[in-house]
Amino acid sequence: MDSFFLTYLWPAIVMIGQSLLLLVCLLVFIAYILLADRKIWAAVQLRRGPNVVGPWGLFQSFADLLKFVFKEPIIPAGSNKGVFLLAPLVSVTLALATWAVIPVNQNWVIANINVGILYVFAISSLEVYGIIMGGWASNSKYPFLGALRSAAQMVSYEVSMGLIIVTVLLTVGSLNLTDIVAGQNHGIGTMIGLPSSFLDWNWLVLFPAMVIFFISALAETNRPPFDLPEAESELVAGFMVEYGSTPYMMFMLGEYAAIVLMCALTTILFLGGWLPPLDIAVLNWVPGIIWFILKGMFVFFMFAMVKAFVPRYRYDQLMRLGWKVFLPMSLVLVIVTAFVVKLTAGA
């Protein structure tokens, strides 16, 4: 009985505890990321943004949560009820499931698996199902059009994103996310004799890759300027037209969880994860998680600024950008990186 407890039950309890801790932190973080998004957007447009609930509007997201939960969920009569309710669940579950392998600090990860980056890529490629199912099950024209658009969009941008991930894998030589961060401890900076610093991170050697990854991440998470699946000027609210109250909130939660995930992924792949910008006394006393959050928030700030600045793309322009610009560029990048890695490996 004792061995059963030690081999199965205790690890399970630990894992559930870790997952709950991550989940709670993540959800609170998402609530404030959502507020930050609205505040940044408002600041760019010289508005105040949400400022009524709590000091400086800090509790706005929680007020929204209560509002959504207490509203009556309306399921259209002509909809396919099971799939209609399953769709937001799928999208939020998948978006949160990816976080199982994201390391937020040295050894602070729930599942440190060998194929971590592939897992993230695989799960985020499934996120399109939430949208397709929601759009189809609504049995209505705008949602369906939105769903079709988003399916094509997400599949297209996944291709270039996958190739960019391959370039990172080539330079680091591992699919494990912790190893990818650890691999950024030495690079250009240490080659010329400096201590480990921000010059070693991948953003410097793979700068074009980072730009393509960032833009593809915008398209993959349906953020403006690529928010065609929910383009309100053309499709009202795209695949979410028929949704209200809690299911709608779950779609939004899934979307923002995916956005925060993309910020974390950019941080891990290109900005050195939890590594301090300079490996010297004062900076490396700061816990790694703080650096991780700071970097992630910087990436999110860029996401929010793009939303405020850039006008929406037309659909054909979006497809052209994905297939005719990003795909060839990322392919060339993979080839060049492979050559450079091969040539410098012997030295």
Partner 1 sequence: MGLQAVFFYLFAFVAVASAFMVISARNPVHSVLFLILVFFNAAGMFLLTGAEFLAMILLVVYIGAVAVLFLFVVMMLDIDFAELRSGFMQNAPMGALVGLILAAELIVVIGGSVITPQAAQSITTPIPSPATRTNTAALGDLLYTNYVYFFQVAGLVLLVAMIGAIVLTLRHRQNIKRQDISRQVARTPATAVEVVKVKPGQGI
Which residue ranges make up the site for partner 1 (CB under 8 A)? 8, 80, 83, 113-115, 118-119, 121-123, 125-126, 128-129, 132-133, 136, 144, 148, 151, 155, 158, 162, 175, 316-317, 320
CA distances from 62 to 33, 93, 240, 287 (A): 12, 20, 21, 29
**Cβ contact 264:160 at 8 Å:** no
How is residue 254 written in tokens?
Answer: 């899934």
The CB-of-158 to partner 1 minimum distance in angstroms stands at 7
The CB-of-272 to partner 1 minimum distance in angstroms stands at 23
The CB-of-133 to partner 1 minimum distance in angstroms stands at 7
The CB-of-244 to partner 1 minimum distance in angstroms stands at 23
Nearer to partner 1, 179 or 279 (CB): 179
Nearer to partner 1, 33 or 154 (CB): 154
The CB-of-247 to partner 1 minimum distance in angstroms stands at 18
| Dihedral sign (CA 333, 314, 266, 298) | positive
The CB-of-50 to partner 1 minimum distance in angstroms stands at 36
- Where b means 16+ CB within 10 Å and e means fewer, 95-119 reads bbbbbbbbbbbeebbbeebeebbeb
Name the H helices within the chain: 2-4, 10-44, 60-70, 81-97, 116-126, 128-137, 141-172, 177-182, 188-191, 202-205, 207-220, 232-235, 245-270, 288-309, 315-320, 327-345
Nearest of 177, 205, 207, 173 to residue 190 by alpha carbon: 205
Nearer to partner 1, 83 or 204 (CB): 83
How is residue 170 written in tokens?
Answer: 């080539």
The CB-of-267 to partner 1 minimum distance in angstroms stands at 22
Give DSSP secondary structure letters for 189-219.
Answer: HHHTTPPSBGGGSHHHHTHHHHHHHHHHHHH
**Cβ contact 148:244 at 8 Å:** no
Nearer to partner 1, 89 or 118 (CB): 118
The CB-of-123 to partner 1 minimum distance in angstroms stands at 7
Nearer to partner 1, 65 or 331 (CB): 331
How is residue 141 written in tokens?
Answer: 């024209």
Nearer to partner 1, 148 or 199 (CB): 148
Nearer to partner 1, 21 or 325 (CB): 325
DSSP letter assigned to residue 89: H
Nearer to partner 1, 198 or 313 (CB): 313
- Where b means 16+ CB within 10 Å and e means fewer, 238-266 reads bbbbbbeebbbbbbbbbbbbbbbbbbbbb
Helix (H, G, I), strand (E, B) or coil at 278: strand
Nearer to partner 1, 162 or 225 (CB): 162
Burial of 13 (0-12, 13-18, 19+ CB in 10 A): exposed
The CB-of-202 to partner 1 minimum distance in angstroms stands at 20
